[in-house]
Amino acid sequence: MVLKEQSLINQSSLEEFLLMDFSDVRELQLLHFMVFLVWYLVAATGNLLIISAVAWDHHLHTPMYFFLINLAIQDIGQISVIIPKSIFNYLLNTRHISYFGCVAQVLLFVFFLASDFSLLTVMAYDRYVAICNPLQYEKVMNKQACIHMVIVVWIFSFFYGVLHTGGTFASPFCSNVINQFFCEIPQLLKLACSDLYLIEIGVLSFSATVGLGCFVFIVVTYVHIFNAVLKIPSVQGRQKAFSTCLPHLIVVSVFLSTGYFAYLKPTSTSPSHLGLALTMMYSMVPPLMNPVIYSMRNKEIKHALSKLLGLRYSPWNTFSILGLQR
């Protein structure tokens, strides 16, 4: 097996890569295929339902739900870049991905990852204005301002993806065996043969600094939000505001902490269970959890979904209100 892989490296090191194989046992490969397929279908369906509900219900055409629909689009894109290829490989018992397929995967994954985190930052600001400056909310978060914010997020994230992709593939590779189930930047940098990979190391360090700055901004924003919430005389009002903010802060914390560990920890020469777990946490969990945390337990979204699907909606079935709409 090693000789075969080495032969592939010598013959086509710039034509294809070999992704990590979870197991040589066919039954376990099929099990991974089923798990990834179900995960993808549930996450994609949840986000598509959110997009449909917001698009069809004009009562949800507000800034908070406008950002939610963009978050759902980004989540679908993020999982669609990496999971279908893994599903295809498990089903056909192969590990191959073409060189240009790997380039496209890095570009699109970083693009959606950056846009996801950028939008979470924008959503924190939206909640800050809604709770701390409610009288200014309609003026500050008007339709034009929200559209401009989302456009800036998409454009910035695309150029950010191009920057990382160029830095990652600037150096030739000494091997084509990637110890991950998709083309992840740290694993690709480990294969570099020249010092050009230091360019991407510098870009990653800068990105880590920017990400930390955004996280500090989100934390400071929520400190102000929590202070304002504590001054709300109504217990129901405080509970409603907290239920909006705490899930958002938890998702951002998990997303950023696992991403930091996955990208900044030293890469090993062999597949790591910890590395795999961290990668799955930041790449696959948020697209599945975001519809649940931000929307599926939201009374307005549930009502819109009930109308969309032709079901009877009862407010008594709502467990909690996780959205604060203005």
For domain 2-317, give the CATH number: 1.20.1070.10
SS3 of 171, please? coil
Written as one letter, the residue type at 211 is G
Q: Quote the pLDDT of residue 38.
A: 95
Q: Which two tokens stand for residue 270?
A: 């062999």
CA distances from 290 to 72, 77, 116, 295 (A): 8, 14, 11, 7
Asked if residue 321 has pLDDT above 70, the reply is: no
Dump pLDDT digits (tens) for 1-32: 444 444 444 444 468 999 987 777 888 888 98
Contact 241, 131 (CB under 8 A): yes
Q: Quote the pLDDT of residue 2.
A: 44
**Bridge partners of 30?**
none
- Residue 317 buriedness (CB in 10 A; 0-12 / 13-18 / 19+): exposed
Domain ranges of the chain: 2-317
Q: Quote the pLDDT of residue 325.
A: 40
Please give the backbone phi and psi of residue 235, each rounded to the nearest 5 degrees, phi first.
Answer: -65, -40
Percentage of residues of the chain with pLDDT beyond 90: 32
Written as one letter, the residue type at 266 is P
Q: CA-to-CA distance for 108 and 197, rounded, in angstroms? A: 20
Dump pLDDT digits (tens) for 85-144: 999 998 888 889 999 999 999 999 999 999 988 998 998 899 899 888 888 899 999 999
Q: Which residue, chain included where needed, has tokens 């920057």? A: 163
Contact 108, 283 (CB under 8 A): no
Please give the backbone phi and psi of residue 18, each rounded to the nearest 5 degrees, phi first.
Answer: -110, 120
